[in-house]
Structure 1
Amino acid sequence: MTKLIINADDFGYSKGINYGIVESHLSGAVTSTTMMANMPGLDHALKLIPSVPNLGIGVHLALTMGKPVSDGTDNLVDENGLFKKRAFYQTESADLDQLYIEWKAQIDKLLNLGVKLTHIDSHHYVHIMGEHAKVTEQLSKEYHLPIRVYGDVLERSAYPDCYVTEAFWNLFNFPAFKDMSRSFSEVQDTLFDVFKENAEKFNGYGTVEASCHPGFVDTEVYYQSSFHLPRMREVEVLCTQAFSQMLQSYGYDLSHYGTL
């Protein structure tokens, strides 16, 4: 039986996203989330953790959003003290020494706040981007935490000493889902077709992670994120009986990294 981890990214981003993730777990299919140590919704997310004892919580390492949590990271920020944008890392690599200091500080911050971390991933997938993967692998070994790896078998084989799932699936990453002019029923029908296609592709795998980004839109999300309204649609889909029945029909064992 394939173990399926449904991970909601961005816990701690804002109150709206926090509430959306909790709703998608308590009333829906989400089994796991990853937490941002440097965003304004962190304190609110910490208060919600006791209400979700069965939710796996990993660290969502930040490099392209918000401010650092450590000192001595001048090469990672712009003139305003904010992390450089994702576009910068399409052609450049971060200072690896400073990156190690900052990401270690983000992990330690959550651990010191009492969060029992289950795994490592990142905002915008920067943890496996180029040379950054070396830092991620080092931290994975130090903290004995699995890594989300986005890519094919060859990319996964680059982490022989770290635990990674056998496949990764960006659950709602298709154009129709992001088209807010389409009705919910239209989007849901398309989702089921896409889900069937991927379920067949991953049939026989031991463990698969499917990522999602549920959330309710607040001012923090609306003005700072280019991805906002579809987050509410994700909450709606994840909490439907039809989605739950679809998961059951494929015989998935819903899990999180901490139960593997």
Structure 2
Amino acid sequence: MERGLVDGTTAMVCAAGAPERIRRFGAGLGGRVGLHLQLTGGRPCLPPEAVPSLVTAEGLFPRKKLDVADVDPGHVRREWRAQLARFLETGLSPSHLDSHHHIHKRAEVFPVFLELARELGLPARALSDDMRRAMDAAGVPHADVCVTRFYGETVDAETFLSLVDAAFAALGGAGTVEVMAHPGRADAALAAISSYDQGRDQELRVLTDPDLAARLASRDIVRCGPAQVAETASSLRSGGRTQRRASA
């Protein structure tokens, strides 16, 4: 985020040591740290007996999204508000919302996600036309499209640019494009909690390459963060025009 293309990040609060890391790194990131809401991976903020539909027999969130079943939206609401409270205890306020493993796409979960985003007045991640329409109706800012395919074995500059170009082409040449990314350092600790480890080092190299930033600029693409996504959405609701904006 200091040297590359990434303009916003979201943080999980259910992992061990998460609040301390958010305090350590988040204060210097200028209001660009959002909340990565969880129903998978880690231990809930609330006691397991308070949210029984969300946890395994061991009192943990399921590790995989496919194992999340028959959740009670009331449990989701209470747990996510507890996650928000834990985030706020770090002294930061979230800049935007998304969710781990895109769990907010689930039909029984999305209304809770939308409720929270609307109440907080925050930009949020939309992953389908139906989600975008619901967010528009609720007044929740979002990017026009979210690209989730910069991931896996083929993460290089050409792939990044081709995905961004295709997204803008689908939007008629202008709009706001969000690109999901997972830059990081692969080590044993990461491998223990994520099957996606080696690709993160490659993403880090790509997203901190000055040449990639120059190639985006040559396409008249303006980088933006969560605040600019909200401003653009507000301008469009007021009849304004948008330019080509990209957020990673």
Normalised TM-score (structure 2): 0.82
The one of 227, 235, 240 aligned to 1:258: 227
Change (3 A) 1:201 1:175: farther
Which one-letter code corresponds to 1:165 in the other structure? A
What's the counterpart of residue 39 of structure 2? 63
Q: Which has the higher contact order (CA 8 A, sep 6+)?
A: 1
Deviations 1:116-175 (A, max 9, x none): 211110000011211100111111122222221112x33311221122221111251365
1:118 to 80, 95, 112: 95
Q: What is the aligned-residue RMSD (CA, Å)?
A: 1.9
Query: Per the alignment, in what secondary structure is the counterpart of residue 78 of structure 1?
Result: coil
Partner AA of 1:88 in structure 2: D
- Could you tell me how far apart the structure 2 residues matched to 1:44 and 1:113 are? 9
Number of equivalenced pairs: 223
The letter of the residue matching 1:220 is A
* Residue of structure 2 equivalent to 1:164: 142
1:33 equivalent to 2:12? Answer no
Please, which runs of 5 or more residues in structure 2 have no aligned partner?
232-248
TM-score by length of 1: 0.79
Corresponding residue SS for 2:58: coil
Name the structure 2 match of 1:227: 196
Taking the aligned partners of 1:197 and 1:175, their CA distance within structure 2 comes to: 20
Q: Which has the larger share of strand?
A: 1
1:91-110 correspondence runs (5 A): 92-110=69-87
Counting aligned pairs with the same residue, the percent is 27
Match of residue 27, structure 2, among 26, 50, 54? 50
Partners of 1:218 and 1:129 lie apart in 2 by 31
Q: In the TM superposition, what are the counterparts of 1:1-260 in structure 2 within 5 Å?
A: 25-42=1-18, 43-53=20-30, 56-71=32-47, 72-84=50-62, 85-89=64-68, 92-151=69-128, 153-159=129-135, 160-161=137-138, 162-170=140-148, 172-173=150-151, 176-177=154-155, 187-259=156-228, 260=231
Q: How far is the alpha carbon of 1:194 from its aligned partner?
A: 3.8
Task: Write the letter of the residue equivalent to 1:127.
Answer: H
Is the 2:153–2:199 Cα contact (8 Å) retained in structure 1?
no
AA aligned to 1:248 is A
Mean Cα deviation higher: 166-175 or 242-251: 166-175
In structure 2, C-alpha distance between the alignment counterparts of 1:244 and 1:51, rounded to whole Å: 22
Counterparts of 2:176 and 2:154 in 1: how far apart (Å)?
Answer: 27
Instruction: Note the residue ranges of structure 1 that are not aligned, 5 or more in a row.
Output: 1-24, 178-186
